[in-house]
Amino acid sequence: LYHYDPLDVTSMTIRYGDDGPWTLVQESPGLMTLQGENGFTLSKSTSWDRMYAASVIPCVEVLSSNPAEYATRLADFGLAEPVGTAQITYADGVTVSLHIGDTTAHDATSLYMLIDGDDRLFTFNKSIAEDLFVQEQSLRDVTQPTLHKARIDRISLLGPDGQLQTQWTLQGQITDSDALDRWQVTYPLTYPADATAMNNLLKNAANLRLGAYVAPATPENLALYGFEQPRLTIDIHQAAGTIGTAGLDGAYTTTDWPESSCTFVIGGARSDLVDYVLHGGDIYVSSHFTVSMFMDYDAASTMSRYPVQVALGNLAALTIREGDAITEYTLTRTEQVAPNNELI
């Protein structure tokens, strides 16, 4: 129906579902700017995604060219109160206003559609509609926190009142070969932690991710999204360290990272699957499955069955006393040199 170059999309206003409308304007070539009080310029890639989605408006099928045939049945098509509306303006001055309704009765991949100034009743491809009708939060690129499993040396969980509930601390250096065996539960009691349990906990901590941006952390928004009394705060401390990665070309490079802390505050629930998360002064959504692993975490489940944590490589001697009998075992190690002259 309409076919333009993406750079010809000068503005677009989208309303979808119960969300209020948002407007983008191409104020400089290839960059769209969100209008309004919380406006900002989208990244280049996100701008192009929006312009590309609005540049071509195809129809799957023309169901009717006579409004008299369908005017009294708009509610049946979800068009009496459209599910979504889009107003797109192009560089030549043409403005297209789309109204999207429900999924069609005969094709689950299409939606009913009307266009202002056009008498026809169309069907519109659902996948294209999903590209065009997005929520305002998804327009903002989300920078994920930098979390390295190998650099984490302390994890703290705080309750709604901000009081420490559970804490695990590495009793050593992240570079120690037996670092996993050196973890301890340090609150609410002090006890050696199980290496396998800590490996899983560290993996879950490093996999914490933010979803779509929601809003800045203003006092009003903090109250709105359940942060006046947050359900949980996850505080992760990372030691300074060097992390190596393999590039797409297979080349291995290392990066030195400074000491850092990362905090996730869990507020209210958006649904059974999504929670609101405060991070770095902004509010996001996050998968409930990801953060729920830390809720009501039982510190006892990470305690070691062994009260003394000694890696096998560090064992030097063992003395067993049974009554008056003493049995003593001593480990001796002989230094060896490999063919490449490295010490074993």
Check residue 32 and report its DSSP letter: E
Is 278 in contact with 267 (CB distance < 8 Å)?
yes
Q: Which stretches of 129-204 are assigned E, i.e. beta strand?
A: 152-158, 164-170, 183-187, 191-192
Burial of 126 (0-12, 13-18, 19+ CB in 10 A): middle
Q: What's the predicted TM-score (pTM) here?
A: 0.68
- Tens-digit pLDDT profile for the chain (344 aa)? 999 999 999 999 999 888 889 999 998 999 999 998 878 899 899 999 999 999 999 999 999 999 999 999 999 999 999 999 999 999 999 999 999 999 998 889 999 999 999 999 999 999 899 889 988 878 888 889 999 999 999 999 999 888 999 999 999 999 998 899 899 999 999 999 999 999 999 999 999 999 888 888 999 999 999 999 999 999 999 999 998 887 777 788 889 999 999 999 999 998 888 999 999 999 999 999 888 889 878 888 899 988 776 777 788 999 999 999 999 999 988 888 988 888 87
Structure token pair of residue 259: 């000491």
d(CA 169, CA 163): 17
All residues at 6 or more sequence positions from 152 whose CB lies less than 8 Å from its CB, including other chains: 170, 174, 202, 205, 206, 236, 237, 238, 239
All residues at 6 or more sequence positions from 10 whose CB lies less than 8 Å from its CB, including other chains: 25, 26, 89, 90, 91
d(CA 28, CA 251): 37
